[in-house]
Amino acid sequence: MSTTARIAIAGAGLGGLLCARVLQRHGVPVTVFERESAPGSRSQGGTLDIHEDTGQAALRAAGLFDEFLALSRPESQEWRLYDRHANLIRHDRAGEDDLSRPEIDRGLLRALLLDSLAPGTVRWGHSVRAVTPLPRGAVRLHHHDRAGEDFDLVIGADGAWSRVRPALSGAQPAYSGVTLVEARFDDVDRRHPGIAGLVGRGTMSAKAGRRSLVLQRNGNGHVRAYVNFRGPQDWHAGLDLADTPAVRAYLLAQYQGWHESLLDILRDNEGGFVNRPVHVLPVGHSWQRVPGITLLGDAAHLMPPVGVGANLALLDGADLARAVVGHPTVEQAVDVYEGVMLPRSTAHARTARQMLATLMPDTDSDDAAFPDSLWPADGVSQDPA
């Protein structure tokens, strides 16, 4: 493709940045528009397990695999599964040379991608309000409080509540019936040895019926906790989410009868609780082609956080960039990319929905099956609208 093609990416998340990196490696200029004011303006979420056949393959295409490995934590592939009485049901450890799913903090991976781009690639504080198709395949990108800019290709990598997606599809994320309430522990090995013992070097999950508790070790002695349950999205009606003691009391009541060591997850966290209802797009979400516009990552196929979302976003970014580089026109490139991405995402979304139903059944029975996969295992980064 001619390097004069005007390409814009909405969103400086992992998939959009990976796409920009691969384009620039092949001499194709690109501009990334991001609503955040600066790289460190907000938390980027928790830890990610980067899979060999998806996320790692994308990082190889970006020429960043060795740098990723140097930052990753292969030892954090360890997984412990408990019942609600704190009995250890299963304990998986990765082999010494196992690099199939090493963990990395989302913020570290994002920083690696940002540092790999040419200076000025990302325009911080430039949120995208909408996109409009123009004659002859061009697309106008509209900013908040700024004049529009015209491009040959606009890539919506702007997450769950994408402002690019409405140009292609009327689909909106719907509440899945499951909520995650996030908490944190700092300097865990020194200040919270009980929590450190539960989580080990990787992830632990304790599950019973429609409720579970998850701990995930991040870098620098930080652990994120997720209180997961099936229920209405307005579960907190009449409860001030900023009132930490009140939220704690409510959650402790919901987990009454669980082992004291597990209840410490609810009692001893530092700071408050963050409400994170899980939203999803319909399985098989697709659209009729609109010249000059496409989507990747959560903007295209928002799924439950079962360990595939970030990996698919990275792979989407790599596949789209390689299609742009390898085809003479934008339309040919997008046709090839969507022909691969859409069926792939449908298959993964169907599996993710089944996993969610297994992990969070609509029953309080302790006899529900324990699946082989972890949840949440995807950094939990569903941005608000």
pLDDT bin (cut points 50, 70, 90) of residue 363 is confident
Q: Is the pTM of this model over 0.85?
A: yes
**pLDDT number for residue 365:** 62
Fold matches, 7-77+105-173+281-359 and 175-280: no
22-40 pLDDT, tens digit per residue, is: 999 999 999 999 999 998 8
231-256 pLDDT, tens digit per residue, is: 999 999 999 999 999 999 999 999 99
Domain boundaries, the chain: 7-77+105-173+281-359, 175-280
Instruction: Tell me the sheet residues that pair with 214.
Output: 205, 226
263-281 pLDDT, tens digit per residue, is: 999 999 999 999 999 999 9
| Buried residues in 88-111 as b, exposed as e (16+ CB within 10 A) | eeeeeebeeeeeebbbbbbbbbbb
Which distant-in-sequence residues (6+ apart) come within 8 Å of 25 by Cβ?
Answer: 62, 63
pLDDT bin (cut points 50, 70, 90) of residue 260 is very high
| Top-tier CATH class for 7-77+105-173+281-359 | alpha beta
**pLDDT number for residue 41:** 77
206-239 pLDDT, tens digit per residue, is: 999 999 999 999 999 999 999 999 999 999 999 9
* CA distances to 74, 196, 207, 359 from 202, in Å: 9, 10, 17, 19
Helix/strand/coil (H/E/C) assignment for every residue in 260-320: HHHHHHHHCCEEEEEEEEEEECCCCCCCCCCCCEEECCHHHHCCCCCCCHHHHHHHHHHHH
Alpha-helix residue ranges (DSSP H) falling in 79-192: 106-115, 188-191
CB-neighbour burial class of residue 231 (10 A; exposed 0-12, middle 13-18, buried 19+): middle
Angle between the N-to-C axes of helices 309-326 and 14-25, in degrees from 0 to 180, rounded to the nearest 10: 30
pLDDT bin (cut points 50, 70, 90) of residue 2 is low
Instruction: Tell me the sheet residues that pair with 154.
Output: 8, 293
DSSP 50: P
38-82 pLDDT, tens digit per residue, is: 988 777 788 999 999 999 999 999 999 999 999 999 999 999 999
pLDDT bin (cut points 50, 70, 90) of residue 368 is very low
The answer on pLDDT for 346 being more than 90 is yes
**pLDDT number for residue 241:** 96
**In contact, 308 and 285? CB cutoff 8 Å:** no
The answer on pLDDT for 3 being more than 90 is no
CATH 3.30.70.20 fits 175-280, yes or no: no
pLDDT bin (cut points 50, 70, 90) of residue 385 is very low
